[in-house]
A and B are shown apart, each in its own frame.
Chain A
Amino acid sequence: MTGPVIWDEKKKVDTNRITIDPITRLEGHGKIEIFLDDKGDVQNAYYQTPEVRGFERFCIGRKVTEMNQITARLCGVCPGAHHLASAKATDGCYNTKPTESAFRIRDLFYNAHFVHSHIAHFYALASADFVMGPAAPAAERNVLGVVGKVGLELGGAVLRTRSKAQRIQAMIGGKATHPVMAVPGGVSIALNKEDQREILSYAEDMVDFAKTTMEVFKSIVLGNKEYVDIIANPDLYYQESYYMGLAGKDNALEFHDGPVRVVDQNRKEKYKFDPYDYLDYVAEASEPWSYQKFPYLRKVGYKGMQSGPDSGLYRAAPLARLNVCESISTPVAQKEFEEYREFFKGLGVEGSVHFTLATHWARIIEMIHAAERAVENASDKDLTNSDIKQPDISPGGRGVGIIEAPRGILFHDYTCDDNGLVTACNLVVGTTNNNGPINVDVAQVAKGLIHNFEVSPGLLNMVEMAFRAYDPCNSCATHSLPGQMPLTANIRSIDGELLETISRE
């Protein structure tokens, strides 16, 4: 097993502008534009998203009971998150809450969803950067390259466990992708004892696998001093933003239900608010150069692409959730969480962890927690209760559903009339929360790594790693997948003429 390739040869360019675009046209699924000054240093960088689908508008006039089906199509990578946020908002439009039994079933479904999503991200997207190295040849920087290196046995376990997590969702939701079980005040169908036994055995396997994943992460990433140096380099993947997440009991880590908590740069509580009051705290900026919006803390205000106490940009997703929470309710995840906090304390961090790449570590801690929660749910003697629907409910009014999507806090806000037809709809989706911070990170990493016109494919990939850490689900935010963003850099003169193309091949 040869070591990962971290640095590669630099190449001098002869232009002021670098475009990283998944497809060489200036259209498509997200692109980065880097502008150089006349010394060849980075002047500025923009991360643009090129699509808007307008769900907020075309959901108007639809039946509110259809919303958990329609909005699931925002994203086939995290349909479970939209399905359940929508279910909560629709509960609100019916002035009800799910029965206890229904909530338990939704929660079990959702923890399985988290495990599936975090496995897919870590192995299919993130691990290649670490296992193969950021400058490894493009043809190897993918999940198959990783399986080739770490062994087919682990590869098989990845596929099997992801498949079990999908299976749990399909058993509850009818289908894993675009589940159908949510109804206002409950779920469509109860589970029986046989289902419960099957689900429990899958959930137990998920816990084992999540623990294995932590070992893999520790040996490959934390065991490599060069990576630790990159992760902990305050000039690269580092940003002093605010953080937002749901808060469980005693501010424990929470994915499904609860008030929203915001912490500041020093990890002090800034706000804690009821989901129905989110408009007082969250607003969304737009910029002429991106179809994706830029959420920010309304009371702090919008200052554009900068982070800090005076700028309202906040971050969401695993890094944020582990800054927002004070503990984790399940034992193995809690132990790992303490180790995580200790590690950063060792680096002198007392407040929030601002290192963007720590997101990967946080994500695996969450994977363990979700698997442990799934075991708790699946062992519950009341799981097979049959009171899964609320009697005598009727539509009319506003409902706000906020949950943690794997990629960040997710807001669904609907109003419907007495006929149950939607009259207003607002959606703030997981990845969008991080849109501003992704821009800040991309610009900073580009500034830190590109000097004097010297650029290499590996360096460009490290720019890309900045946003891959966020697992930006552009399906949610726009419509493209969080796939390996192909790395072609078009080197353009200032008038846009293509001078040269650098790619990893």
Chain B
Amino acid sequence: MSWFSDWKEKRAKKKAEKAATAAAAPAKKEAAASSAPAAAKGAKAPEFIADSPIDGYVPGLGAPPGGKINIAIYWAAACGGCDVSLLDTDEKVLNIGDMSNILMWPIATDGKEKDIEALEDGEITVAMINGAIRNSENEHMARLLRKKSQILVSYGACACLGGTPALANLVPGGVNEIKDYVYGVTPTSANFIADGGRKLEDVMPRPEYNAPEGTLTLPVLYDTVKTVDQVVDVDYYIPGCPPTQKSIAALLDALVGFVYRGEALPPKGTTVGVIPKSLCEECHRHKENRRITEVFEPHEVLNIDHDLCLLDQGILCLGAGTIAGCGAPCTKADQPCRGCYGPPKPVSEQGSSIFTAIASLFPIEANDAKMNEDDMDDIMSVIKDPLGYFYAFSMSKSLIKRAVNEGGQ
């Protein structure tokens, strides 16, 4: 049971090994591939031991030849689903333990900020951050982990694109409007205030409050939900809400190859676990590219054809504007893709790439590229909430700006 064990006691010993690992690890340094630990080169892939009491766990993996790497996993403004997705690797999660000292992983183990602070810069080999940046605390931890880590992975839709919480960026009045609604307008809260003859400002949560026994503090919330790479430099991205096992396997394989066999890591900036084409090419459905004359909600089509493209059946599937790699579990369940893997090219706006893909299917005459505003309005009125639907996961990356006064500036 060595994985959460006393890494601190071993730190002195590890310092020596560290030199080798550090030289080899960062993909940021151009020569990462060639400077991999010599001992790891040609190391045999571990054999699967069939009678292990835990299927799929590879007990023979043991400690890596170049010494264990240090890993930190952190949630910022997250739902926890990204951490669960790592636990869902089931037995493979134990191999993460063989390969690494887990210095921080709030779902499974202790590991405190001060421990991370005590590390030398670069002492963490890989840090994975899931969740968006929503308050001062999230930003502080992202900066700290960046400083202490050689490789920083932005993990999941919230970290990479803002995710569902970034829909808050559509609220014009920002955090104050949100708080007024939550504590003053929702009926259970409005009744509390009315029944007791209270005033909203007296019961409104605030960053600093003087209780009879002393001062109590809460963090300051930001008006805008940001992605991880909007506050720190990111080395790798893995998309998805949460990333599917297929994509996580790609990430873990790359790490195992690097740690055990000295294989090169992908170039900095790579999105791991995707296939650089649109989801349509991974989806099992065949396309007829019929023009859409009527849009249906999935529940309105009583007998969905399981093998025909959903767009061809009038259901607004976002697969054409989404990068492949998830394995298309949603369209397999007869539901449209909502785009959680993000746009096919990282630089593009997801909403507009989806819009272009879908708009071309509407029976609007002339060249689609020169659609006029009325035509656009027609399409939008069918789609009802185009912003919320096309940017369901990527509002933080959208150029659409909200008229909100960030931090009084």
Residue of B nearest to A52 (CB): B182
Check A181–B333 contact: CB distance below 8 A: yes
Q: What A residues does B1 contact at CB under 8 A? A: 144-145, 147-148
Q: What A residues does B293 contact at CB under 8 A? A: none
Check B384–A420 contact: CB distance below 8 A: yes
Which of B's residues lie within 8 Å of A, judged by CB? Answer: 1, 3-6, 8, 53-55, 75, 77-85, 87-88, 90-91, 97, 106-114, 131, 134-137, 140-141, 163-165, 167-168, 170-171, 175, 177-179, 181-183, 186-189, 191-192, 195-196, 202-206, 209, 211-219, 221, 241-242, 244, 297-299, 302, 304, 306, 329-330, 332-335, 338, 340, 384-385, 388-389, 392
A305 to B304, alpha carbons, bound, how many Å? 53
Q: Decide if A74 is an interface residue (CB 8 Å cutoff).
A: yes
Most chain B beta carbons < 10 A, residue from A184, A289, A496: A289
Given A26, A413, A428, A501, which contacts B217 in the complex, CB threshold below 8 Å?
A: A26
Q: Decide if A288 is an interface residue (CB 8 Å cutoff).
A: yes
Interchain Cβ contacts under 8 Å between A and B, 12 examples: A26-B219, A27-B137, A33-B216, A46-B211, A51-B219, A54-B182, A142-B108, A155-B53, A174-B333, A175-B329, A426-B186, A426-B187
Check B203–A285 contact: CB distance below 8 A: yes
Per-position 1/0 for A130-166, Cβ under 8 A of B = 0000000011011111011000110110011011001
Check B188–A61 contact: CB distance below 8 A: no
Q: What A residues does B211 contact at CB under 8 A? A: 44, 46, 289
B122 to chain A, nearest CB (A): 21
Q: What A residues does B91 contact at CB under 8 A? A: 156, 159
A178 to B335, alpha carbons, bound, how many Å? 13
In the complex, chain A residues 45-63 whose Cβ is within 8 Å of any chain B Cβ:
46, 48, 50-54, 56-59, 61-63
Known A-B contacts A35-B214, A63-B384, A286-B204; the reply to A53 vs B84 at CB < 8 A is no
A74 to B90, alpha carbons, bound, how many Å? 23
A33 to B339, alpha carbons, bound, how many Å? 42
Q: A284-B192, A475-B80 are in contact. List 15 more A-B contacts (CB 8 A).
A: A22-B112, A23-B141, A29-B106, A48-B218, A57-B171, A73-B79, A74-B79, A144-B3, A156-B91, A163-B88, A189-B333, A298-B195, A413-B187, A484-B109, A486-B106
Per-position 1/0 for A293-333, Cβ under 8 A of B = 10100100110000000000000000000000000000000
Q: What B residues does A367 contact at CB under 8 A? A: none
A163 to B304, alpha carbons, bound, how many Å? 30
A267 to B103, alpha carbons, bound, how many Å? 46
Check B216–A289 contact: CB distance below 8 A: yes
Check A56–B182 contact: CB distance below 8 A: yes
Q: What A residues does B131 contact at CB under 8 A? A: 479
Q: Decide if A291 is an interface residue (CB 8 Å cutoff).
A: yes
Check A183–B299 contact: CB distance below 8 A: yes
Q: What B residues does A279 contact at CB under 8 A? A: 187-188, 191
Most chain B beta carbons < 10 A, residue from A33, A62, A73, A166: A73
Q: What B residues does A139 contact at CB under 8 A? A: 4-6, 110
B395 to chain A, nearest CB (A): 10
Check B54–A24 contact: CB distance below 8 A: no
- The list of the 10 closest CB pairs from A to B, nearest first, reads A76-B81, A174-B333, A54-B178, A27-B137, A183-B299, A27-B219, A73-B164, A35-B213, A76-B80, A57-B181
In the complex, chain A residues 470-486 whose Cβ is within 8 Å of any chain B Cβ:
473, 475, 479-481, 483-484, 486
Q: What B residues does A390 contact at CB under 8 A? A: 299
Check B384–A174 contact: CB distance below 8 A: no
Check B170–A61 contact: CB distance below 8 A: yes
Q: Decide if A225 is an interface residue (CB 8 Å cutoff).
A: no
**Number of A interface residues in the complex (CB < 8 A):** 117
Residue of A nearest to B114 (CB): A24
Q: Decide if A258 is an interface residue (CB 8 Å cutoff).
A: no
Check A177–B81 contact: CB distance below 8 A: yes
Check B171–A284 contact: CB distance below 8 A: no
Most chain A beta carbons < 10 A, residue from B79, B217, B241: B79
A76 to B188, alpha carbons, bound, how many Å? 25
Check A138–B110 contact: CB distance below 8 A: yes
Check B137–A302 contact: CB distance below 8 A: no
A29 to chain B, nearest CB (A): 7
Given B164, B214, B384, which contacts A421 in the complex, CB threshold below 8 Å?
A: B384
Check A174–B195 contact: CB distance below 8 A: no
Check B338–A391 contact: CB distance below 8 A: no
Q: Decide if A66 is an interface residue (CB 8 Å cutoff).
A: yes
B210 to chain A, nearest CB (A): 9
A39 to chain B, nearest CB (A): 14
Per-position 1/0 for A253-297, Cβ under 8 A of B = 000000000000000000000000001001111111111010100
Residue of B nearest to A284 (CB): B188
A23 to B177, alpha carbons, bound, how many Å? 29
Q: What A residues does B219 contact at CB under 8 A? A: 26-28, 50-51
Check A43–B213 contact: CB distance below 8 A: yes
Residue of B nearest to A171 (CB): B333
Check A61–B181 contact: CB distance below 8 A: no
A69 to B129, alpha carbons, bound, how many Å? 23
A341 to B55, alpha carbons, bound, how many Å? 39
Known A-B contacts A24-B114, A183-B298, A494-B214; the reply to A152 vs B196 at CB < 8 A is no
Most chain A beta carbons < 10 A, residue from B77, B131, B304, B388: B388
Most chain A beta carbons < 10 A, residue from B3, B205, B244: B205
Q: What A residues does B84 contact at CB under 8 A? A: 76-77, 177
A124 to B304, alpha carbons, bound, how many Å? 40
Q: Decide if A188 is an interface residue (CB 8 Å cutoff).
A: yes
Q: What A residues does B54 contact at CB under 8 A? A: 152, 155-156, 159-160
A505 to chain B, nearest CB (A): 8
A120 to B90, alpha carbons, bound, how many Å? 12
Given A27, A290, A488, which contacts B136 in the complex, CB threshold below 8 Å?
A: A27
A12 to chain B, nearest CB (A): 21
Q: Decide if A389 is an interface residue (CB 8 Å cutoff).
A: yes
Q: What A residues does B329 contact at CB under 8 A? A: 170, 174-175, 180
Given A65, A175, A183, A480, which contacts B75 in the complex, CB threshold below 8 Å?
A: A480
A53 to chain B, nearest CB (A): 6
Check A484–B108 contact: CB distance below 8 A: yes
Q: What B residues does A174 contact at CB under 8 A? A: 329-330, 332-333, 335
Known A-B contacts A63-B389, A76-B84, A178-B241; the reply to A189 vs B334 at CB < 8 A is yes
Given A16, A389, A501, which contacts B302 in the complex, CB threshold below 8 Å?
A: A389
A327 to B84, alpha carbons, bound, how many Å? 33
Q: What B residues does A391 contact at CB under 8 A? A: 302
Known A-B contacts A61-B388, A174-B335; the reply to A483 vs B108 at CB < 8 A is yes
A88 to B323, alpha carbons, bound, how many Å? 32
Q: What A residues does B6 contact at CB under 8 A? A: 139
A175 to B243, alpha carbons, bound, how many Å? 11
Check B182–A57 contact: CB distance below 8 A: yes
A330 to B370, alpha carbons, bound, how many Å? 64
Q: What A residues does B82 contact at CB under 8 A? A: 76
Check A62–B216 contact: CB distance below 8 A: no
Q: Decide if A185 is an interface residue (CB 8 Å cutoff).
A: yes
In the complex, chain A residues 400-414 whose Cβ is within 8 Å of any chain B Cβ:
413
A216 to B141, alpha carbons, bound, how many Å? 39
In the complex, chain A residues 1-35 whose Cβ is within 8 Å of any chain B Cβ:
16-17, 22-29, 33, 35
Most chain B beta carbons < 10 A, residue from A16, A52, A79: A52
A413 to B178, alpha carbons, bound, how many Å? 17
Check B213–A44 contact: CB distance below 8 A: yes
Check B333–A188 contact: CB distance below 8 A: yes
Q: What A residues does B107 contact at CB under 8 A? A: 124, 481, 483
Q: Decide if A430 is an interface residue (CB 8 Å cutoff).
A: no
A21 to B214, alpha carbons, bound, how many Å? 17
Most chain A beta carbons < 10 A, residue from B108, B165, B182, B195: B182
A297 to chain B, nearest CB (A): 12
B174 to chain A, nearest CB (A): 10
B60 to chain A, nearest CB (A): 15
A51 to chain B, nearest CB (A): 7
Per-position 1/0 for A173-199, Cβ under 8 A of B = 111111011011110110000000000
B159 to chain A, nearest CB (A): 13
